[in-house]
Amino acid sequence: MTQKTPEPESLSANRRDFFRKILLKSLNRAEDVGRALAQKASNVLAPSAKTPSFAGSTDSEAFTESPSEPLRWLRPPGALSEARFTSICGSCGGCEEACPAHCIVIDPNVAGGLPYIEARQSPCVVCEDLACMRACPGGALSLVNHRNEINMGLAVMNHELCLRSQEGDQQECRLCVNQCPIGETALDFDTQGRIEVRDACIGCGVCEWVCPTYPAAIVIESGR
């Protein structure tokens, strides 16, 4: 049997860049709809807040949360319990480098200086390769057999903020449902047409990222 030649690092980097471009292209279709809906949601948008910058946005300023709201972050997919994760992870940067969406961040001043994801800024896209888990050298990220086994957290709906629930000005927004990488087993509509979080939710944060309201009507709470 012929042994497979390892892929050169330059080609590996090119593959990751290509993956990210394809990803952003697939999510970019949310941009126009999201902006239009956000403009109609003045009753749920903070007076001085900016609406989210969707994929492909040309805004010079990125979306930022209100200063009064604490930063909410998630550990990368496959992370062990917080106690074990913090004792094992060495902040080597392997997961950050391997992530095709570049959503994993290591900041010495945030999250104990260990890898984290801020869903509102850049969510986990649940890549088929489970790249970050495979790149972790110390076992702080445990490789799962299937991406549906990932457990980063759970989406939580605030129906009072959701555009579909605004009395007298209901919108047919379905961005979070359309873009959920897991599908209807994780996020769908209930019998009243409202967004419903289901058992298969893995807490990736894509729904929070595409939500056009401010604050987001659907957010990820870490831990389950």
Tens digit of each residue's pLDDT (9 = 90 or more) over 14-55: 545 544 544 554 454 444 444 444 444 443 343 333 333 333
**Per-residue confidence (pLDDT) for residue 186, from 0 to 100:** 97
Mean pLDDT over residues 162-175, rounded?
79
Residue 124's φ and ψ, nearest 5 degrees, are: -70, 135
Q: What is the pTM of this model?
A: 0.72
Q: Half-sphere exposure (CA, 13 Å, Cβ side) for 123?
A: 30
Tens digit of each residue's pLDDT (9 = 90 or more) over 189-221: 999 899 999 999 999 999 999 999 989 999 999
Tens digit of each residue's pLDDT (9 = 90 or more) over 70-121: 678 999 999 999 999 999 999 999 999 999 999 999 999 999 999 999 999 9
Rg for the chain, CA atoms, rounded: 18
**Per-residue confidence (pLDDT) for residue 38, from 0 to 100:** 44
CB 92 within 8 A of CB 116: no
Residue 179, number of CB atoms within 10 A of its CB: 21
Residue, of 7 and 57, whose pLDDT is higher: 7
**Per-residue confidence (pLDDT) for residue 160, from 0 to 100:** 92
Question: How many angstroms separate the CA atoms of 130 and 132, rounded?
Answer: 6
Peptide bond between residue 215 and the one before it cis (omega within 30 degrees of 0): yes
